Amino acid sequence: MTTPSVSEPIAVGTLTSTDRTAMAMVTTLFFMWGLLTSLNDILVPHLKSIFDLNYAEVILIQFCFFSAYFIFAIPSGKLIEHTGYKRSMTVGLLTMALGAALFIPAASVPSFPLFLAALIVLAAGMTVLQVSANPYVAVLGPPKTAASRLNLAQAFNSLGTTIAPLFGSLFILSSAPKTSEEMRAMPQLARDAYRLHEASSVKLPYLGLALTLLLLGVAISKFNLPAFAAARKSASISGIKDSVWHHRRLVLGAIGIFVYVGAEVAIGSFLVNYLSRPEIGAMSVKTAARYVSLYWGGAMIGRFIGSSVLQKVRTGIVLGAAAIAAFLLVSTSMLSLGSVAVWSILAIGFFNSVMFPSIFTLSIEGLGPLTEAGSGVLVAAIVGGAIIPELQGVFADRIGIHHAFFLPALCYIYIAYFAFYGSRSARTASLDAA
């Protein structure tokens, strides 16, 4: 189909076919934020060794990164309302480029707080990108295929998360990390030199990523993406002013996003340390990092398959079945050792695949002029990726990393509830009336 001029806004929900050219361009954004998000799984063991941190301390990487979603999601929704999807995507990419560039001075010091600050800036830009790109893909074609379309875009997001651990193991985890005991036994000067040397391994990769993001931002700003007419005023029902908080399905879906992202990030963040445990995989840190690609690769395969399945099977059924399977797998890993524990935890990635796009599309269905605001709420709920991994880190320090996976198991139980019951709520049902 012919790409409409950006000067001619299209009413949301009126497209009869998917704009493939725009879809292809926006999909590159999903790939980039997947790559950068998954690199945090490599930073966790890398910085844990460099700065001699415990699990609760090092997981501040994920806490700061995903907390930015909560802080910047609602302002991002306002930005989209005033500037449109295209300009918001450009702003997001340029902010991400700045955050990636800040890794260079953080590594030059080196300073763990500066790394956290760089991650916050990076995540702020990613928040703008998520709030704009997810609903944009959802409205870029017929409403009935929105979940399938978003699953396809998320499949390329998973391609980025699959490549990132391989990329990180090659360029960041270049040598075997020293243990806490070895670090503490080193003289102060030698310890400082070691930290500076190891931290410098992030400079070149993140410089390359910063330049790539900058170029992509320029490309998006010049690309003729279709513009959609967004309602600027609050909707009303029977003369009563409407709000996103009156939509029970959206609120339950936001909780679903919170626990889904929390579970996915918690598992990914601890995989390298988990697989390197003698009783689990007995792998080196570098080898374990490559296995993390299988976790994210499963999500990529699942999303390509899910994109097709969701055109034929109701979204809630697919989501519920995936959540039950993920719960059984994480429980199996917790209750076993060796190869069974390894492969059951890695297989969860396949069933994670359909969760985010399915929860997202079910939650914003029927919001109409509140779609942008609803998207902001859902992206704010990604803060689950900050809180649940941090809680799991606290439990890992106390009961061991093996049994701390009970937390993601509980998250999958809620997702199954949302899939089979919570997502059936009437579009305009209020919390009070529920």
Range of the domain at 161: 10-229+242-424
What integer pLDDT is reported at residue 379 of this predicted model? 81
List the structure tokens of 223: 């690309």
CA dihedral 45, 50, 51, 54 (to 10 degrees): 30
What integer pLDDT is reported at residue 178 of this predicted model? 65
Q: What is the mean pLDDT of each run of 10 residues along the chain (434 residues)?
A: 46 62 89 90 86 86 88 85 88 96 94 94 92 82 76 84 84 68 77 84 93 94 76 43 74 94 90 89 84 86 83 88 96 92 94 89 77 78 89 90 92 95 59 40
What integer pLDDT is reported at residue 117 of this predicted model? 95
Residue 433 lies inside a defined structural domain of this protein: no
**Are the C-beta atoms of residues 233 and 369 closer than 8 Å to each other?**
yes
Residue 128 lies inside a defined structural domain of this protein: yes
Residue 432 lies inside a defined structural domain of this protein: no
Q: Is 370 exposed, middle or buried (0-12, 13-18, 19+ CB in 10 A)?
A: buried
**Are the C-beta atoms of residues 285 and 173 closer than 8 Å to each other?**
yes
Residue 25 lies inside a defined structural domain of this protein: yes
Residue 213 lies inside a defined structural domain of this protein: yes
What integer pLDDT is reported at residue 241 of this predicted model? 58
What integer pLDDT is reported at residue 417 of this predicted model? 95
Residue 3 lies inside a defined structural domain of this protein: no
Residue 39 lies inside a defined structural domain of this protein: yes
Residue 4 lies inside a defined structural domain of this protein: no
Structural domain count, the chain: 1
Residue 124 CB: number of other CB atoms within 10 A?
A: 22
The CATH number of the domain holding residue 325 is 1.20.1250.20
What integer pLDDT is reported at residue 242 of this predicted model? 64
Cα separation of 293 and 403, whole Å? 23
